[in-house]
Amino acid sequence: MDSLQALAHGFSVAMTWQNIGLALMGCFLGTIIGALPGLGPSNGVAIMIPVVFSMGLSPTPALILLTSVYYGAMYGGRISSILLNIPGDEPALMTTLDGYPMARQGHAGEALAISGIASFVGAFFATIGLVVLAPQLVEVALLFGPAEYFAMFTLAFATLGGVTSANQAKAGFATCLGLSLAFVGVDGQTGVPRFPFGNVHF
């Protein structure tokens, strides 16, 4: 019950005219940013941080604006993937498999509408589920250890052969190059430097 009361309090804070206007403006700007190939949600939020700071907003409206930009950019990435077959970010990659063929057949409007409705419904139920099931999800997340992470990474690498092009050598080379770049630096979980080669500045 406490979670539902906290959710109701959050809605009472968010449903002011200023916050609703900032949410609409953030979704509009995020959609434009996400539609540009190469600019994803993370870049959109990074671009908007100085703008939000210069507007002098308090923390709650600023977070509402930034999260709206993120959500709008998540949908905006589908526009370029459906119309141009160029995914704006990683989550929009799978949209090119169904959305772009529909656009080629003259059903681009239907593809964009289906993508928008699916994004809204999925985000709505995911948010409600996260609020209601947060304690149970925390318990499951704490059970993840080295064996589970190893299995997850193995599954990710095993699916590379299915989603890449027919040239498996090119996909393997790109995977090895990405892994070799990702191995260098400070480990995100333990904070231990990996392959510093005598350089202490990262």
pLDDT at 11: 79
Q: Verify that 194 and 165 share a domain, yes or no.
A: yes
**Are 99 and 168 part of one and the same domain?**
no
Judge if 151 and 138 occupy the same domain. Answer: no
Same domain, 123 and 158: no
Q: How far apart are CA 115 and CA 123, in angstroms?
A: 12
Indicate whether 10 and 89 sit together in one domain.
yes
Question: Which structural domain range is residue 43 located in?
Answer: 2-143
Using CA atoms, how far apart are residues 34 and 69, in angstroms rounded to an integer? 9
Distances (CA, A) of 109 to 14, 103, 114, 154: 31, 8, 9, 38
**Residues 73, 56 share a domain:** yes
* 150 in the same domain as 100: no
- What pLDDT score was predicted for residue 28? 92
Contact by Cβ (8 Å): 192, 186: yes
My answer on whether 160 and 128 are in the same domain is no
pLDDT in tens, the chain (202 residues): 576 777 788 778 888 888 899 999 999 998 898 888 777 788 888 888 998 888 888 888 899 999 899 988 888 888 888 888 887 777 777 888 888 889 899 888 898 898 889 888 888 888 788 777 878 888 888 888 888 889 988 888 777 766 666 777 787 788 888 888 888 888 777 778 888 777 766 5
**This model's pTM is above 0.95:** no
Number of H helices, E strands in the chain: 10, 2
Backbone angles phi, psi at 151, to 5 degrees: -65, -40
- DSSP 8-class letter at 157: H
My answer on whether 153 and 105 are in the same domain is no
- Would you say 117 and 68 are in contact if contact means Cβ atoms under 8 Å apart? no
Q: Which of 143, 171, 187 is the last residue of a domain?
A: 143
**Residue 20, both tokens:** 């609703």
**pLDDT the model gives residue 25:** 93
Q: How many domains are contained in the chain?
A: 2
Structure tokens at 110: 């239907």
* 74, 26 contact by CB (below 8 A): no
Is 129 in the same domain as 197? no
List the alpha helices (DSSP H) in the chain.
Answer: 2-14, 17-35, 41-55, 59-84, 95-104, 108-132, 134-142, 146-158, 160-163, 168-183
Same structural domain, 6 and 106: yes
**Residue 75 sits in the same domain as residue 123:** yes
Task: Among 143, 174, 193, give the residue marking a domain's end.
Answer: 143
Final residue belonging to a domain, choices 143, 163, 184: 143
